Copies of this chain bind each other. A is one copy, B any other.
Amino acid sequence: MSIPEYHDSSGRRLVDYPRPSVAVDTAVLTPDPERGLLVLLVRRDSATRSDAWALPGTFLHEGETLAGAVLRSLDQKAGLRGQAPRQLYVFDDPRRDDRGWVLSVAHVVLLPPAVVAPVAEERPDDVQLRPVAEATGLPFDHDGIVEMAVAQVRAAYAERPDPERLLPEPFTLRDLRRLHEAVAGRRLQPDVFRRHVRDHLQSTGEATRGSVGRPAELFRHASR
């Protein structure tokens, strides 16, 4: 009969170690057809109405996962219901936060504009959407987080069609291409794009109707 080891390999009890606070900071990105990738910023101190905007974040609560903390912070700070945050990096400089010893785990979440835009419109004093190129001068390590988030999302979308499943199925190749253009931040040739993604998609046999030109074939994702 054995009890769990509440000590580390040198015999020191775990509870005797000082422990850091752990925070999460999240770059919520949304692809806008007009302005490319936008990042969501929240006012850092809503009491003072200061001009300091930052990425939403929070401290990790007991028994909570990092993803859970990310989703909670998005709900609290922006009234958003996100999903599937991805880890980017742990910022660990012991002196990065003058409130104490705080590790911050940076995350990225990609959400459809239909979900994010209304929040920014309803609460302009608290929530802002800004093109990623113009999101600089942020506090802490937030400039770097935005950069990593953009790189992560662009790499994922260059790899395969809509990996985050932002588009509701079924969709046309035009819809898919507009989404990818917003993520990439540049125009993509329709024919080249089509051949890029075609093998990963499955035709529904249906087509759009009532639109201006030739009807477009409707697709869904092939796998699964």
Residues of A within 8 A of B (CB): 4-9, 14-15, 17-22, 45-46, 58-67, 87, 89-90, 92-94, 98-103, 105
List chain B residues, Cβ under 8 A from A46: 9
Q: Are B17 and A62 in contact (CB under 8 A)?
A: yes
The closest CB in chain B to the CB of A8 belongs to: B59
- Cβ distance A10 to chain B, nearest Cβ, rounded Å: 8
Docked complex Cα distance between A18 and B14 (Å): 14
- Other-chain residue from B4, B9, B67, B103 in contact with A98 (beta carbon distance below 8 A): B4
List chain B residues, Cβ under 8 A from A22: 19-20, 22, 103
Docked complex Cα distance between A19 and B5 (Å): 19
- Cβ distance A156 to chain B, nearest Cβ, rounded Å: 14
Interface of A is mostly: loop
List the 6 closest pairs (A to B, CB-CB), nearest first: A19-B19, A18-B62, A66-B92, A4-B98, A63-B94, A65-B92
Given the contacts A4-B98, A22-B20, A100-B14, A90 and B62 also touching, CB distance less than 8 Å: no
- Cβ distance A168 to chain B, nearest Cβ, rounded Å: 30
Q: A5-B99, A18-B62, A67-B92 are in contact. List 9 more A-B contacts (CB 8 A).
A: A14-B99, A15-B100, A17-B21, A17-B62, A19-B21, A20-B60, A63-B101, A66-B90, A90-B105
Q: Are A65 and B93 in contact (CB under 8 A)?
A: yes
Q: Are B19 and A61 in contact (CB under 8 A)?
A: no
Q: Are A14 and B21 in contact (CB under 8 A)?
A: yes
Q: Are A100 and B8 in contact (CB under 8 A)?
A: no
**Can you give 5 A-B contacts (C-beta < 8 A)?**
A9-B45, A17-B62, A64-B94, A65-B93, A66-B90
- Cβ distance A134 to chain B, nearest Cβ, rounded Å: 25
Docked complex Cα distance between A59 and B105 (Å): 17
